Structure 1
């Protein structure tokens, strides 16, 4: 997935009210950027971090700038939660996720469950329907371990329950975690930050929901799905 071009480099002053970030651009201009990430952004919201923003020419936007990447000593981190579905959609079109092949066709944002939409509904061989939910991962607290989520998520628990219902109805259901980082070699669940979600993961796994995790190749120009990471399921 190509990122908006060109990205502008700056320094984070503060992130606040969930969706706002004050940033000083190179050259000294102070801006307020939209932050498309409702999570806590632990480790990625510290004043002084180098960041990259895009600028929109749309006159109808309240904020011209959007926060796209945070730069850590270990590499770039994508924080825009609007991107994972686009990244995975491109990967599906390119048959780049071997665990999901072969795919006859797929659709995005299909209504299912109780007032929900599945990110992707895949029609696989022998007309098997696969429900694929995508989650953005940006949390890592050291030792190469990516974690999800960074706070409790009722919406995430609901999605796990609905995926389990699809398995009970005879379909295949998968939760795919996309790590928008380049510095992790495995994935796990932040039980201390979100014990309810961890419990829901254990229950969904026992009921047949599958779990996949991939990381990304990230540059200032694009973000692409890269390699599968091993998953550490929550302990009981």
Structure 2
């Protein structure tokens, strides 16, 4: 890996990039050095707070997930919490995963909405996303800058290199219905603004090496394909398909999550577009 020669920019030397698939598959891209604390959910309140119970000890933890966490926030649900040693934090614990019971056994679902962006950076540095990193000898994009600004806010990353520029937004996916991973799990004005900006980038970037992509990180194992959640936010779903038509790249990927860390899983295909949302 190269050095940070520009403040705020990760520069990757492609000749030294970690590209061993076997090695990468054996090790998680995100680890929890302090381990994770197992507890049970008592309640969620005030949007960013959850009360949890560990034995007889009840305490409050932080959650950064502003969605509904549909089906994952029931009382007595097992949860995993990361623990910060930062003395300036008011709450030391952050909600990372919730356990979901299912036929044939349960599994962990990642609910931390910062994970997709962290996974993007780690996968880029390790050469694990061919769509972004290219083949081992390919230097298509060799640097990444987090949170580039646009008129109405910020996207998650700007990648640059010989291939040009790629603007990327990441989204966390925790909802699955009938083996279809869905986003969002609650109406999202912010998500619509991000898609609108990606559409603008894709349209204005045609022919000059500027592309736009949205990476949907599905933090659970039971989604076999991905699509927008029309029944939850029909405006987002309609805009999603307009973005596809405009050339925005949609990359749903699975993240394999558990107490030992988070791995990058397989790419998921998109669902068939509803007939009523055909382009034109």
Interval of TM-score (by shorter of Structure 1 and Structure 2) = over 0.9
Q: What's the CA shift for 1:157?
A: 1.0
Alpha-carbon contact 1:189-1:234 (below 8 Å) kept: no
Equivalent position of 1:84 in the other structure: 116
Alpha-carbon contact 1:140-1:146 (below 8 Å) kept: yes
Q: Which structure's CA Rg is the greater one?
A: 2
> CA separation of 1:150/1:119 partners in 2, compared to 1, >3 Å: closer, same or farther?
same
> Take 2:202 and 2:64, find their aligned partners in 1: how far apart are those partners?
32
Equivalent position of 2:107 in the other structure: 75
The alignment status of 1:202 with 2:211, answered yes or no, reads no
Q: Where do 4+ consecutive residues of structure 1 move more than 6 Å?
A: none
TM-score by length of 1: 0.92
Equivalent position of 1:229 in the other structure: 268
Q: What's the CA shift for 1:112?
A: 4.0
Which string of whole-angstrom CA distances, capped at 9 and with x for unpartnered residues, describes residues 24-46 of structure 1? 11x32111111111111101111
TM-score by length of 2: 0.78
Alpha-carbon contact 2:148-2:157 (below 8 Å) kept: no
SS in 2 for 1:9: strand
Q: What's the CA shift for 1:51?
A: 0.8
Q: What's the CA shift for 1:4?
A: 4.5
Aligned to 2:144, which of 107, 111, 119? 107
Equivalent position of 2:259 in the other structure: 220
> 1:1-236 residue pairs with structure 2 within 5 A?
1-25=30-54, 27-73=55-101, 74-100=106-132, 101=134, 102=138, 103-125=140-162, 127-141=163-177, 143-170=178-205, 171-232=210-271, 234-235=273-274, 236=277
SS in 2 for 1:8: strand
Which string of whole-angstrom CA distances, capped at 9 and with x for unpartnered residues, describes residues 43-96 of structure 1? 111111111112223222111221111111331111111121111111111111
Where structure 2 has 5 or more consecutive residues not aligned to the other structure, the ranges are 1-29
Q: What's the CA shift for 1:160?
A: 1.0
> CA separation of 1:174/1:166 partners in 2, compared to 1, >3 Å: closer, same or farther?
same
Q: What's the CA shift for 1:196?
A: 1.0
Equivalent position of 2:9 in the other structure: none
> Take 1:55 and 1:111, find their aligned partners in 2: how far apart are those partners?
29
Where structure 1 has 5 or more consecutive residues not aligned to the other structure, the ranges are none
